Amino acid sequence: MKTVNDFNFNGKKALIRVDFNVPQDESLKVTDNTRIVSAKSTIDKILKDGGSVILMTHLGRPKGQVIDKFSLKHIVDDVSKVLGKPIKFVDECVGSKAEKASTDLKPGEVLLLENLRFHNEEEQGDEFFAKQLATLGDIYVNDAFGTAHRAHASTAIVAKFFPSNKCFGLLMAKELDAIQKVLKTGEKPVTAILGGSKVSSKITIIENILPVVDNLIIGGGMTYTFVKAQGGNIGKSICEDDKQELALDILKKANEKGVKVYIPEDSVIGDNFSNDANRKVVETNNIPDGWEGLDVGPKTIKTFSDVIMASKTILWNGPLGVFEMPNFAVGTKAIGDAIGEATKKGAFSLVGGGDSVAFVKQNNYTDKVSYVSTGGGAMLESLEGRELPGVAAIIND
């Protein structure tokens, strides 16, 4: 796996695909610069070598139209602040303006191109568009894990114009290494904690990780599909009735592979879907009519925490309760604490997937776990065992 550390960029122009699709408020101020900060080490390495940097990214979903609020001019100051140096900006990403800006770029300088998705050709994976982008740099670097699962021009097609001058950025390398640690090289016991509401959205991940994990912890709304499938009463809890056979099949396969599956023994239930609902703790397989499971109970927290504390490699994808409501966030917080403790004792922990990442950030767990993935969809597809187009484009010549 070639990274920027395998190249000397002295006198070279690095064309870097970054993921600066950052959240902004109504006045277009960046509200979370994590993705910009994540690319800094790659950019710094190239500049330190004596190279120059051309950054390309998308922002939002302009769908091929030039829309001011999606212009990257609004994030120039933020990029400049993170990198600690002025940034040049050109209001095009292909064509004569972009080519001139690239030609004029001197070693040590950084150029940000306009939003790739102002052109439909980007999402279409258009070869001519990719070729135009390729003329801007000498070495292609993909450091955008968040878009690596898309076969777009700037992530999967442009690499073919750099047959021997292409590599991963340091963020991308970290992401791929973290997934490898879970799927292939992780120290045992390996524990996967899967939450969220639907079994259907996690089935491919479960099937792919069963051969490598020792423990599978099930939480969140999908708990109740498993419980109902085994004959339990779940009241009005969320349930995918058409996935009950699938849930039983997962349990059978796990048993055949010697994987221990943990399903919540007790649940915190509410009489409606609200933080102010009346609450009580009951056995998960005996929820009364008119009530729904919204969090894991104290017995479950103890069992899950003990399993996590005894683990050496931990994957966490999906909350265990409705963490957006403080009264039903206790279980998810307790699991976060257990993962943090296990990590402190030397376990490797990977957190990924939208809701888990949101929880970790909101509750300041980021520094307590080994790695927080920046790419929701890309990480999930990796865990499903799929080859990501943006990765294949670098690895395969």
21 in a known ligand binding site:
yes
Q: Which residues of 45-79 are buried (b: 16+ CB within 10 A; e: fewer)?
A: bbbebebbbbbbbbbeebeeeeeeebbbebbeebb
58 in a known ligand binding site:
yes
Q: Which one of the listed residues 40, 354, 361, 386 is annotated catalytic?
A: 354
β-sheet with 371-372: strand ranges across: 260-262, 215-218, 190-194, 313-317, 348-351, 371-372
386 in a known ligand binding site:
no
In the beta sheet, which residues pair with residue 270?
279, 292
Is residue 354 annotated as part of the catalytic site, yes or no? yes
355 in a known ligand binding site:
yes
Show the tokens assigned to 230. 């085994």
Give the DSSP per-residue string, 119-187.
SHHHHHT-HHHHHHHHTT-SEEEE--GGGTTS--IIIIIGGGG-SSSEEE-HHHHHHHHHHHIIIIIPP
Show the tokens assigned to 218. 């099930």
162 in a known ligand binding site:
no
278 in a known ligand binding site:
no
Is residue 377 annotated as part of the catalytic site, yes or no? yes
26 in a known ligand binding site:
no
In the beta sheet, which residues pair with residue 286?
233
19 in a known ligand binding site:
yes
Is residue 368 annotated as part of the catalytic site, yes or no? no
Q: Which one of the listed residues 260, 302, 377, 386 is annotated catalytic?
A: 377
Q: Which one of the listed residues 73, 198, 236, 299 is annotated catalytic?
A: 198
265 in a known ligand binding site:
no
Cis previous bond, 389, omega within 30? no
364 in a known ligand binding site:
no
Show the tokens assigned to 4. 């920027």
Give residue 339's region: left, alpha or beta (phi > 0; psi -120 to 50): alpha
| C-alpha–C-alpha distance, residues 275 and 184, integer Å | 40
350 in a known ligand binding site:
no
353 in a known ligand binding site:
yes
Q: Which one of the listed residues 12, 13, 35, 166 is annotated catalytic?
A: 35
324 in a known ligand binding site:
yes
| C-alpha–C-alpha distance, residues 376 and 385, integer Å | 15
306 in a known ligand binding site:
no
Show the tokens assigned to 267. 């649940």
232 in a known ligand binding site:
no
| C-alpha–C-alpha distance, residues 128 and 134, integer Å | 10
Q: Annotated binding site for substrate: which residue ranges?
A: 19-21, 35, 58-61, 117, 150
Q: Annotated binding site for ATP: which residue ranges?
A: 202, 293, 324, 353-356
Catalytic site positions? 35, 198, 354, 377
Q: Annotated binding site: which residue ranges?
A: 19-21, 35, 58-61, 117, 150, 202, 293, 324, 353-356
Q: Annotated binding site for (2R)-3-phosphoglycerate: which residue ranges?
A: 35, 117, 150
